[in-house]
Structure 1
Amino acid sequence: MGKNRLEAFSDGVIAILITIMVLELKVPHGDRLDTLGPLIPVFLGYVLSFVYVGIYWNNHHHLLHTLHKVTGPILWANLHLLFWLSLIPFTTGWMGENHFTAVPCALYGVVMLMCAIAYWLLQQAIMAAQGADSLLRRAVGRDWKGNASPLAYLAAIPLSFWSPVLATSLYVLVALVWLVPDRRIEHVLD
């Protein structure tokens, strides 16, 4: 199988996830600015998750550019990643509706951790399919961001029960680190 079908399916799922997240922003009753106040936590959760989904979409796009053929393990690893990404709208909505309280923040961290693990498993499946001479393996290298992110999520999950604000700050920090464009794959492809 070629990579185009895998990429199109993944892009479609990710587009649906963003659509589901924006539907959580309910239109307030009233025409004054103060009617928007209760939506602020939901909106902030949406922004954070939109950035995360965008980061995954961007990196997934680059990841698939290293593929020449799609194997069964790659298909399953990709589906595994999409499963965890599909839980982002739920945890985002729950976190925003409950004003970033402990349990929703912790569950958000669990989902982010599982997304990171699933992405790593997809990378491993691609590198295994490419063999010892893996283009992706050369591009990824030591991958400090990929290694540090799950550690930050692991720290934020229990931290949510002590200080949801600090836990959320860790989620924001990880997102900010990933907003810096990762050009490793582009450089190897050139």
Structure 2
Amino acid sequence: MGKGRVEAFSDGVIAIIITIMVLELRVPEGANLAALRPLLPVFCAYVLSFIYVGIYWSNHHHMFHAVQKVNGAVLWANLHLLFWLSLLPAVTHWVGKNPLSAWPCAMYGVVLFMAAIAYFILTHVLMRHHGADSPLSKAMGWDLKGRVSVCLYLAGVGLAFVAPWLAALLYALTAAIWLVPDRRIESALSVE
């Protein structure tokens, strides 16, 4: 099977996720800067989640440049990723309404952790489908940033019950790590 429909469907779902998140932002009650203060936690949660969705979209986009074909396993692995990403608007809103509360902060980390695991599964299903000598398999190799991210998410989930602010800091730090572009796929494709 071709990859075009998977890419188009994924782009559409990701666009809807971002739209749902922005619709949770409310207009301030007043007309002065002080009216923005109660909205600040919601806005900060939105910004972090928007960055995460952007990171996943960008990496998904790059990965699918190295993909030639898909199969049923790839379709399900991709849906698994999209499922966890689709929960981001709900946990984002919960965290924004309850800033630095243990359970919302922990659940935010659980969704990030599960999305990372789902991306890992999708990557490995694609590499298995394309073979060890494929540009994708050569480019992905041992994913240090992905492994570190999973550890940081788990640490954040645990810390949410002790110091939620520290968990939030770990989630932001992990996003910052991913803001540095991953050039492995571009490098592998330019060699061919």
TM-score band (shorter)?
A: over 0.9
2:102 matches 1:112: no
Using the size of structure 1 for normalisation, the TM-score is 0.98
Partner SS for 1:161: coil
Q: CA contact under 8 A between 1:149 and 1:174: conserved in structure 2?
A: yes
Q: How much has 1:132 moved relative to structure 2?
A: 2.5
Task: Tell me the number of residue pairs that the alignment of Structure 1 and Structure 2 aligns.
Answer: 190
Structure 2 residue aligned with 1:60: 60
Aligned sequence identity (%): 62
The amino acid that maps onto 1:56 is Y
Segments of 4+ in structure 1 off by > 4 A?
none
Deviation by residue 1:102-143 (Cα, 9 ceiling, x = unmatched): 100000000000000000000011001011213212101221
Structure 2 residue aligned with 1:149: 149
Work out the CA distance in 2 between the residues paired with 1:132 and 1:88. Answer: 33
The amino acid that maps onto 2:113 is L
The amino acid that maps onto 1:47 is V
Structure 2 residue aligned with 1:38: 38
Root mean square deviation, CA, Å: 0.7
Deviation by residue 1:33-61 (Cα, 9 ceiling, x = unmatched): 11111000000000000000000000000
Work out the CA distance in 2 between the residues paired with 1:25 and 1:93. Answer: 9
The amino acid that maps onto 1:107 is M
The amino acid that maps onto 1:78 is N
Structure 2 residue aligned with 1:18: 18
Structure 2 unaligned segments of length 5 or more: list them.
none
Work out the CA distance in 1 between the residues paired with 2:104 and 2:134. Answer: 39
Partner SS for 2:181: coil
Using the size of structure 2 for normalisation, the TM-score is 0.97
The amino acid that maps onto 2:88 is I
Q: CA contact under 8 A between 1:113 and 1:154: conserved in structure 2?
A: yes
Q: How much has 1:161 moved relative to structure 2?
A: 0.5
Work out the CA distance in 1 between the residues paired with 2:99 and 2:82. Answer: 26
Structure 1 unaligned segments of length 5 or more: list them.
none
Structure 2 residue aligned with 1:181: 181
Moved more, 136-145 or 173-182: 136-145
